[in-house]
């Protein structure tokens, strides 16, 4: 008999299910774009029943919102683990530039992507800006860095460009 409370294992199962749903959704977006997927396809790609999917998310918008939140939280974690401001910017640049779901959205969902990027008052945007500010200690530098990263959503950089531009941004703007 387990010594762990029943609800502790339920919470872990809940998190694993939500993680599977978000991973399945991201994979689908990478294959077809955001506008071309349905809740039925999300359930199938996530290997959960439709009932389970709807128990976790009321509709596709709720799934996408949770996916965006998870992605921004991961980006903040990447930046926080970086050694220097240039390292943080480079890691974020590489993550954004290599993301297959963003690549598919550039092809299939340009309007949705540009609309999402225009919400500078969104709490997630502000959370990422606070993370960059803690690395840069500069309001002006944070604004420039945010715009630089947003630009990469639409025009990704390669590895060399990411490092060179991150260092240049730090050298010329942040300090």
What pLDDT, on a 0 to 100 scale, did the predictor assign at position 152?
A: 93
pLDDT (tens digit per residue) in 45-84: 999 999 999 999 999 999 999 999 999 999 999 999 998 9
Mean of per-residue pLDDT scores for the chain: 89
What pLDDT, on a 0 to 100 scale, did the predictor assign at position 124?
A: 87
Asked if the model's pLDDT at residue 156 lies above 90, the reply is yes
**Structure tokens given for 93:** 């640049």
Q: Which pTM was predicted?
A: 0.86
Q: Which residues, other chains included, contact 82 with Cβ-Cβ below 8 Å and sequence gap of 6+? A: 88, 90, 91, 135
Q: What CATH class is the domain 6-174?
A: mainly alpha
What pLDDT, on a 0 to 100 scale, did the predictor assign at position 158?
A: 96
Taking the domains of the chain in order of start, what are their residue ranges? 6-174
58, HSE (Cβ side, Cα atoms, 13 Å): 3
Give the span between the Cα atoms of 57 and 27, in whole angstroms: 17
Asked if the model's pLDDT at residue 175 lies above 60, the reply is no
CA distances from 104 to 56, 121, 130, 175 (A): 25, 25, 28, 36
Asked if the model's pLDDT at residue 155 lies above 80, the reply is yes
What pLDDT, on a 0 to 100 scale, did the predictor assign at position 103?
A: 93
Rounded percentage of the chain residues whose pLDDT exceeds 90: 67
Give the span between the Cα atoms of 71 and 137, in whole angstroms: 23
HEC secondary structure over 122-168? CHHHHHHHHHHHHHHCCHHHHHHHHHHHHHHHHCCCCHHHHHHHHHH
Give the span between the Cα atoms of 96 and 152, in whole angstroms: 7
Backbone angles phi, psi at 124, to 5 degrees: -70, -35
pLDDT (tens digit per residue) in 109-146: 988 888 888 778 888 889 999 998 987 788 888 989 99
Our separate counts of H helices and E strands in the chain read 10, 0
């Amino acid at each position: 008999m387990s010594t762990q409370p029943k609800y502790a294992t339920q919470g872990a199962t809940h998190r694993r299910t939500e993680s599977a749903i978000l991973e399945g959704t991201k994979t689908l977006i990478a294959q077809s774009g955001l506008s071309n997927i349905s809740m039925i396809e999300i359930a199938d790609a996530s290997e959960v029943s439709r009932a389970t999917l709807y128990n976790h998310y009321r509709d596709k918008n709720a799934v996408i919102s949770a996916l965006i939140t998870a992605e921004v939280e991961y980006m903040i974690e990447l930046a926080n683990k970086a050694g220097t401001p240039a390292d943080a910017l480079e890691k974020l640049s590489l993550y954004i530039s290599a993301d297959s779901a963003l690549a598919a959205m550039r092809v299939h969902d340009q309007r949705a992507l540009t609309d999402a990027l225009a919400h500078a008052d969104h709490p997630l945007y502000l959370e990422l800006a606070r993370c960059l500010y803690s690395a840069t200690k500069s309001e002006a530098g944070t604004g420039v860095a945010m715009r630089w990263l947003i630009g990469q959503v639409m025009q990704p950089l390669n590895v060399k460009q990411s490092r060179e531009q991150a260092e240049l941004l730090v050298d010329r703007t942040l300090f």
